[in-house]
Amino acid sequence: MAFYAEEEHSQDYLFKIVLVGDSAVGKSNLLARFARDEFYSNSKSTIGVEFQTQKMVIDGKEIKAQIWDTAGQERFRAVTSAYYRGAVGALIVYDISRRQTFENVGRWLNELNTHSDMNVVTILVGNKSDLKDSREVSMEEGKALAEVEGLFFMETSALDSSNVATAFQTVVKEIYDILSRKVF
């Protein structure tokens, strides 16, 4: 699997980015919103997608973000090392309306660190920010955890689109910046 790979043109890049987090936090819908501007109220409809490639332009360079989504394996805590292999970016997602999904962020971080052989640019994402009335995790708690762990942080809503593109772009931009600092 290619990572930091340069394709035919020396200015093209392919970054593997993985989505992780508990079941039903909205990983597949974040990807559907970002890649296709779609939203599914029934989570089953998105099962089976392995990854989607999204083109982005940064500094005039074309970057392909290859974004991997679990096909439901996280339900059984059975995300394999192949899923993480070669990843240079990650979104660890929890649901702001389900505290347990936030409590489990540490486990996902451990798993990511265990399976990846390099520093993965990671953003902590508190999804479902539209569910204001059933919020169980404050924005401050999310921010504080991200700060302690050295992660980027953002609250998003795949339903109303808020911050979805920004979350993915933050990761891609940072990977690109690290890479260009190394090359030039």
Name the residues that contact Mg ion, by CB under 5 A: 27-28
Binding of residue 98 to ligand GDP (CB under 6 A): no
Neighbours of 107 (CB within 10 A): 14
Least separation in angstroms between residue 158's CB and ligand GDP is 4
Binding of residue 101 to ligand GDP (CB under 6 A): no
The contacts found for 134-143 with CB under 8 angstroms, 24 or more apart, are 134/97, 135/96, 135/97, 136/96, 136/97, 136/98, 136/99, 136/102, 137/94, 137/96, 137/99, 137/102, 141/102, 142/94, 142/96, 142/102
Token couple for 130:
């539209």
User: Which partner from the list Mg ion, ligand GDP, none does 131 bind, CB cut-off 5 to 8 Å by kind?
Assistant: ligand GDP
* Of the candidates 159, 153, 123, the residue with the CA atom closest to the CA atom of residue 138: 153
Q: Which of residues 159-178 bind ligand GDP (CB under 6 A)?
A: 159
Least separation in angstroms between residue 90's CB and ligand GDP is 14
User: Which partner from the list ligand GDP, Mg ion, none does 179 bind, CB cut-off 5 to 8 Å by kind?
Assistant: none
End-to-end CA distance of the chain: 25
Binding of residue 126 to ligand GDP (CB under 6 A): no
Closer residue to ligand GDP in complex, CB, 58/159: 159
Closer residue to Mg ion in complex, CB, 28/129: 28
Binding of residue 66 to ligand GDP (CB under 6 A): no
Residues that bind ligand GDP (CB under 6 A): 23-29, 40-41, 43, 46, 127-128, 130-131, 157-159
